[in-house]
Structure 1
Amino acid sequence: MVPMPPSGKRPASPFTPLDFQLVLLRRMADHNPDLVEGARRELGVSIADMREANKRWQAMVRSPRTRSAASRYRSVLGHPESETKRVIGDLECRAWQWPLPLWPDLRFEVLVSPDGAVWNEWLIRAPGAPAPTLRTVDDLTPWSCTVDEAARTFAPARPLEGTAPTRWGLAFTAPDARGVRRNVVAEFTWGLLQRTAVSE
C-alpha cells in the first residue's frame, strides 16, 4: 500500500493542457454557456471537472509560493510550439505559442518581457490558418474572431477596459447587412470574441 502524505490527502494530479482548456472555458461560460457546454462534451468532462480545474488554477495563480507566470505556462502546457521575438513599440519581447485541441485554428500566445514578466496572454489565429471573413456586424458571432482580427478589420478600433481579468473590449463602427454604419462594442475573453452590442 502506498503511504498517504502526513496531511491524509492524496497528492494532487498534475495540471494538464486539458485542465487549462477548462480554465479558458470557465471564464467564457459567463457569456456563451451553450458553446461552452458543447466544448465540454467534446472534451468528455463534467461541469464539476471544469469548476475544479478553475479552482486549482486560481489557487496556483494566487499562491504566495507560486512560480512566475511564464514558468507556470511552461509547466502546464509544455515546451512552446514556437518561440519568436516580437517588437511592440520600442520594446522587445518573446512570443510563446501553444496549440489547443479545442481550437485547432488558434494558438494560445504568451508575451514574455526580457525580465521574464508576462505582458499578455490570449488566443490568436494560428500561423497559416485562414482568417475569418468579417464584413458586417452579422459576421461578428461568438468565437468567430480574435481581438487582433476585429481591430484590424474594423480600424480604427478603440480599446476598452475589460470587465474582469483576461477580458478585453473594443469599440468601432461596422456596416450592417444594408451597409449602414453601426456603433459596435465587442467583448473578448482570453482574446476570443464572446458578444457584441450594436447601436445606431
Structure 2
Amino acid sequence: MGGFFPMIDLKLRPNRRVIPAGTELWRVHRSIHAPDAFNPRLADIHFDGGRFDGTVLDRYHSLYLAETALTALAESVLRSRPFDLPAGERTIPYRAVWQRTLSCLRTRTDLTLVSLVSGTDLAAVCQDATLLEDEGNYARARRWSSEIRAQAPDAMGLVWESRRNRSEHALVLFHDRCERPGGGPLEVLTDRGIADLGSEEGRERADALLAPLRASVSKPEWPC
C-alpha cells in the first residue's frame, strides 16, 4: 500500500468469494512474459491503464484471469468489436493475437477475493454497475479498487461478471496480497492452453473457442 487510502468516509462491507486451491484459471498474455507473471506497470492516475491496475498512489502489480478459456479470450480480444453486416459475425484483427498466448494455470492456495458480481456485491462497496460498465472512466475504477483494498486487507483480488461473456467471471489478483513462501499463488499447466495464438493452428483453435460468441480471428495482415 502507498499509504494514501482510505480517502473516503463511507464504510464499505465487501462480500468475499473464495477460489479454492486446485482451481483452473485462464489468461491471455504477451508470449514473452511468463504465464504467472504479474504486470509490474503502474497505470496513470487519470488515463492509461487497466480497470483495476495499481497506480503511484497504491503500488500493487496486477494479474488478470478468467474462469474459462473462452472468457479469457473474450476479455482480451472482443472489446469494441461490432457484428459485421450482413453475416452478423465479429472479426478480430490479427494484431490482437499476434505474439500472444492463452495459458492455463491452477491455484496453489485458496484465493480470497472481493466479489463484485451481483448488485448486492456492488452495493456492499457503495457502487453500482457503472463501476464495471463505464469504459471511459477507468481512473474511477482504479481509485475504488484501492478503497476496497484499504477496507478489505485480506482481499487478494477482485472478481466480477465478464462484460464480454456474460454469466462467466473475470478476476484480478494483487501481487502484494499473493506473496507466499515457496512461490506464487499459481501453477502453470504447460500441457494446456494455446502457446501461439497467432500461428495457423493457434488461430484455428481460438476460432473454435470463440465460435459461440460469433467471432473469429482474421488472417495475418502480412506474410508469415
TM-score normalised to the size of structure 2? 0.24
Structure number with the higher strand fraction is 1
Q: Which has the higher contact order (CA 8 A, sep 6+)?
A: 2
Bigger helix share: 1
The structure having more radius of gyration, on CA atoms, is 1
TM-score by length of 1: 0.26
